[in-house]
Structure 1
Amino acid sequence: MDKKTLVLGVIGADCHAVGNKILEYGLTEAGFNVVNIGVLSPQEDFINAAVETNANVIMVSSLYGHGEIDCRGMREKCKEAGLNDILLYVGGNIVVGKQNWEEVYDRFKDMGFDRVYPPGTSIETAVSDLKKDLHI
């Protein structure tokens, strides 16, 4: 079976690179082909990389709290690019301040994200969800 391809990066004006590299390592070790677009990445970079690599998943990381703003409209842009079935994952410190997690989760689900992870989520959790969602 071919390796599933993931586009991974840190969205918006966020420059937190350490967690991104840890995710890349853990996901690669779990058997995924990881295309890491790095930090300070606009939505278009994720989408272009996904189109170019025929990716199965876009994984968005954000730690500076503005992920909600940076992620708005991403599902729609994916559809415009022909990525109708791509899985969208997002995680990290994706909102500013201490907000009710259930409400944050619901807002990102309403934006079209398939998986929404709070700060501190383990790589093992993401790998398990990827395997479920990708049927591997």
Structure 2
Amino acid sequence: MSNTLKRPIRVLVAKVGLDGHDRGAKVIATSLRDAGMEVIYTGLRQTPEMVVNTALQEDVDAIGISILSGAHMTVFPKIMDVMKEKGLNNVLLTGGGIIPEKDMLQLKEKGVGTLFAPGTTMATIVSYIQNWVTEHRNF
């Protein structure tokens, strides 16, 4: 499914906390750009509040969090809480990294979108974001 919006899909890619490994986030950002999306990359060491504030300022359709630190069970719920506080109820929160499958399932139950493990194809991630945005943000 392709983007039916009359504008490019806007995605914020962020690294939260002290996780200093950003190669994967940069690869994702480049792949999303290559797929025609507008990508805002926040860089390293963001707080959940900083991520959500940037998402608001940039009017994004999706937030993608890259996490390798093991703090995913803290980071994603905190971002969800701040998103709710700020009224970002129709923005996708997705991401990927080193996240055990059981944790991915628990986060999905809390409202986080699909999370992607290492080795997921870029086409899968691009397609997921395009489909989600087309279904939920077609306004």
TM-score (norm: length of structure 2)? 0.86
Query: Which position in structure 2 is the counterpart of 1:7?
Result: 12
Q: Which has the higher strand share?
A: 1
Match of 2:63 among 58, 67, 80: 58
Instruction: Percent identity, please.
Output: 27
How many residue pairs match? The answer is 130
Distance 2:88 2:97 in 1: 24
Detail structure 1 runs of 4+ shifted over 4 Å in the superposition: none
Shift of 1:67: 1.9
Does structure 1 conserve the Cα–Cα contact (< 8 Å) formed by 2:76 and 2:112?
no
Query: Which position in structure 2 is the counterpart of 1:30?
Result: 35
Gaps of 5+ in 1: none
Distance 2:85 2:113 in 1: 18
Shift of 1:5: 0.7
Shift of 1:69: 2.1
Query: Which position in structure 2 is the counterpart of 1:49?
Result: 54
TM-score (norm: length of structure 1)? 0.88
Distance 2:70 2:16 in 1: 11
Query: Which position in structure 2 is the counterpart of 1:109?
Result: 108
Shift of 1:114: 1.4
Shift of 1:77: 1.1
* Matching residue's letter, 1:118: A
Query: Which position in structure 1 is the counterpart of 2:122?
Result: 123
